[in-house]
């Protein structure tokens, strides 16, 4: 990454410059935190119903700009327009869901002798959110909106390749009437602006989404200040397909091709029971051949480019020339294109089978029986998501209890719903986002005991 004080945002489908955005320095971050501290005091003092009303108004404004936000995501991130519309809608829906939480941030009344005991969920203060480039808009929203609803101010650093939707969301927040500096977006480099946010003593918590390598560094730096972190990191999720499954649904290639595979929940390890391995291979070969890869703004396109040349080089490094594989096609010329690929000659302990590739590349591996499937599914340092496919209910329950991952789906490839908790086991992360408890992760619990014995004489 360059140290330039300007970020050039490229359209990954054309390599043309879409926008140039100033990069925040350490001093800019420090100044933003000072503004956020002041704004947060007033924001937290609002009646919860008023905070909720403002967030609902923010949702209405996002809704009115859905198409604009989606088109921006297409240009800066190369997402297919259908996906980008879903992403803008997800930001709006999460605002509405989190707004309700502001009015239901309940404490407990705990029976104790000698008095009454109550707990309060109090906002942390200023929350720093560091977002990646793979889902710029939803991930910025997941970190920021519940934090706002709980009465915190947010300083958000988007990825340097994709700052535009986050900047627009902050503009829409002001338009909706959110107080100034309650939600600030500071595009910048990770090792300057990102680090400054992590190291700032007045930033009470960091929510980080990105690589396990950078997440580890963020956690180490937060430890020096005993600062809480939520980490959403990498994944290498299994798709466990038993012989009795609906193979067509189970082997849907968009379980790993969606967003060009740049998805921490992508089911990139396709584990298929031996007896249907050949059938699965044939099905996947046919399915990859018809995937429409191209201009993400075209409604018919099913898969767009990768985000950057750097990511393209990284993905290529996992697919050596001549490696046994099933392949689809991809455009030539400008843009960061890689074809849909399933590696068929990989060993379960090989790099492509164990490391997060973050591109449209999966490995196909056979398993013998249920015990073997569970062993293979767990044979990774990650534990974010996974799917399992079988018509045997008992087996579905047994396997879902045995796979160590935060988000499993049975006979489905879904992972992220704003109603349900999302996060990883093992090196896939720490803490949970979304779901009914999302706001609690942005609060401290205060316990107050009120004596009923009267003041001491
Ligand atoms: P990073 O983890 O480096 O980047 C994620 C975010 O962290 C970006 O905003 C980045 O800023 C910022 N950042 C980078 N370094 C620091 C730092 N020292 N302190 C604070 N913030 C920092 O991911 P990459 O973009 O380098 O992607 C590499 C790989 O990570 C991918 O191939 C993929 O495997 C994985 N990844 C996983 C994601 C997930 O959803 N779990 C999301 C993105 C990547 P900047 O943009 O300036 O680098």
Closest CA to 124 of 146, 151, 106, 105: 151
Q: How far is CA 276 from CA 215, 247, 280, 377, 452, in A?
A: 39, 9, 6, 18, 70
Closest CA to 382 of 428, 351, 350: 428
Question: Residue 243 is encoded by which pair of tokens?
Answer: 């012989």
Q: CB-based contacts of 376: which residues, under 8 Å, 6+ apart?
A: 238, 269, 271, 348, 365, 367
Percent of the chain exceeding pLDDT 90 equals 97
What is the reported pLDDT for 456?
A: 61
Rg (CA), the chain: 23
- Residue 307 DSSP symbol: S
455 pLDDT more than 90: no
- Residues 388, 400 contacting (CB under 8 angstroms): yes
User: What would the mean pLDDT of 334-361 be, rounded to a whole number?
Assistant: 97
Closest CA to 76 of 261, 296, 309, 293: 296
Could you say which of 160, 232, 356, 433 is catalytic? 232
- Residues 140, 158 contacting (CB under 8 angstroms): yes
Look up 274 and say whether it is catalytic: no
Question: Residue 171 is encoded by which pair of tokens?
Answer: 């503009």
Count of beta carbons in the 10 Å neighbourhood of residue 123 = 23
Distance 210 CA to ligand 1 centre (A): 4
Residue 117 banded pLDDT, cuts 50, 70, 90? very high
Percent of the chain exceeding pLDDT 70 equals 98
Question: Residue 115 is encoded by which pair of tokens?
Answer: 């008095």
CATH number for the segment(s) 238-410: 3.40.309.10
**Crossing angle for the helix pair 136-149 and 48-64, to the nearest 10 degrees:** 160
Look up 73 and say whether it is catalytic: no
Domain ranges of the chain: 6-233+428-448, 238-410
Report pLDDT digits (tens) over 133-184: 999 999 999 999 999 999 999 999 999 999 999 999 999 999 999 999 999 9
Q: How far is CA 139 from CA 13, 233, 269, 292, 390, in A?
A: 22, 12, 24, 26, 31
What is the reported pLDDT for 415?
A: 77
Distance 156 CA to ligand 1 centre (A): 14
Residues in a beta bridge with 270: 239, 364
Around ligand 1, the residues with Cβ closer than 6 Å are 1, 130-134, 157, 159-160, 189-191, 194-195, 198, 209-211, 214, 217-218, 232-234, 264, 314, 356, 358
2 pLDDT more than 50: no
- Cα four-point dihedral sign 45, 50, 56, 61: negative
Report pLDDT digits (tens) over 373-416: 999 999 999 999 999 999 999 999 999 999 999 999 999 998 79
What is the reported pLDDT for 3?
A: 55
337 pLDDT more than 70: yes
Pairing of strands 361-367, 341-343: parallel
Could you say which of 73, 76, 264, 346 is catalytic? 264
User: What would the mean pLDDT of 43-60 be, rounded to a whole number?
Assistant: 98
- Residues 177, 20 contacting (CB under 8 angstroms): no
> Domain 6-233+428-448 falls in which CATH fold?
Aldehyde Dehydrogenase; Chain A, domain 1 (3.40.605)
Say how far residue 133 (Cα) sits from the centre of its chain: 10
Name the residue of 129, 193, 210 to mutate for ligand 1: max ligand atoms within 8 A of Cβ. Answer: 210
Report pLDDT digits (tens) over 182-229: 999 999 999 999 999 999 999 999 999 999 999 999 999 999 999 999
User: What would the mean pLDDT of 318-332 be, rounded to a whole number?
Assistant: 96
- Residues 192, 2 contacting (CB under 8 angstroms): no
1 pLDDT more than 60: no
Residue 4 banded pLDDT, cuts 50, 70, 90? low
When the pLDDT of each residue in the chain is averaged and rounded to a whole number, the result is: 97
Whose structure tokens read 């992403």?
Answer: 87
Residue 258 banded pLDDT, cuts 50, 70, 90? very high
Distance 158 CA to ligand 1 centre (A): 10
Largest CA distance in the chain: 88
Name the residue of 5, 211, 230 to mutate for ligand 1: max ligand atoms within 8 A of Cβ. Answer: 211
């Amino acid at each position: 990454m360059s140290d330039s004080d300007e970020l050039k945002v490229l359209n990954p489908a054309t390599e043309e410059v879409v926008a140039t955005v100033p990069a925040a320095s350490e001093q800019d971050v420090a100044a933003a935190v000072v503004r956020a501290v002041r704004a947060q005091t007033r924001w937290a003092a609002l009646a919860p119903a008023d905070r909720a009303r403002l967030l609902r108004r923010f949702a209405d404004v996002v809704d009115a700009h859905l198409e604009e936000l989606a088109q921006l995501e297409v240009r800066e991130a190369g997402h297919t327009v259908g996906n980008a519309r879903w992403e803008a809608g997800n930001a709006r829906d999460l605002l509405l869901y989190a707004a309700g939480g502001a009015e239901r941030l309940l404490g407990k009344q705990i029976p104790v002798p000698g008095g009454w005991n109550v707990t309060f969920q109090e906002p942390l203060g200023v929350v720093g959110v560091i977002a990646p480039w793979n889902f710029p808009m939803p991930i910025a929203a997941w970190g920021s909106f519940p934090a706002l609803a709980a009465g915190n101010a947010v300083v958000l650093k988007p990825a340097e390749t994709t700052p535009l939707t986050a900047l627009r969301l902050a503009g829409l927040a002001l338009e909706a009437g959110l107080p100034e500096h309650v939600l600030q977006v500071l595009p910048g480099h990770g090792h300057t602006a990102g680090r400054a946010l992590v190291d700032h003593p007045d930033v009470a918590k960091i929510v980080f989404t990105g690589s396990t390598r950078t997440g580890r560094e963020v956690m180490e730096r937060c430890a020096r200040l005993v600062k809480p972190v939520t980490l959403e990191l990498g994944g290498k999720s299994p798709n466990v397909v038993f012989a009795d499954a609906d193979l067509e649904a189970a082997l849907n290639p968009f379980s790993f091709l969606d967003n060009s595979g740049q998805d921490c929940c992508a089911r990139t390890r396709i584990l298929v029971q031996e007896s249907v391995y050949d059938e699965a291979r044939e099905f996947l070969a046919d399915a990859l051949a018809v995937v429409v890869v191209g201009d993400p703004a075209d409604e018919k396109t099913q898969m767009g480019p990768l985000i950057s040349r750097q990511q393209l080089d990284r993905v290529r490094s996992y697919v050596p020339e001549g490696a046994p594989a099933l392949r689809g096609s991809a455009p030539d010329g400008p843009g960061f294109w890689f074809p849909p690929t399933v590696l068929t000659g990989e060993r379960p302990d090989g790099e492509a089978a164990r490391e997060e590739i973050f591109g449209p590349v999966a490995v196909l591996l056979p398993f013998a029986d249920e015990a073997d499937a569970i062993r293979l599914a767990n044979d990774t340092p990650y534990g974010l998501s996974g799917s399992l496919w079988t018509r045997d209910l008992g087996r579905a329950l047994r396997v879902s209890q045995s796979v160590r991952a935060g988000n499993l789906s049975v006979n489905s490839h879904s992972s992220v719903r704003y109603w349900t908790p999302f996060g990883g086991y093992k090196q896939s992360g720490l803490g949970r986002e979304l779901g009914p408890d999302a706001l609690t992760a942005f609060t401290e619990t205060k316990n107050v005991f009120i004596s009923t014995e009267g003041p001491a004489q």
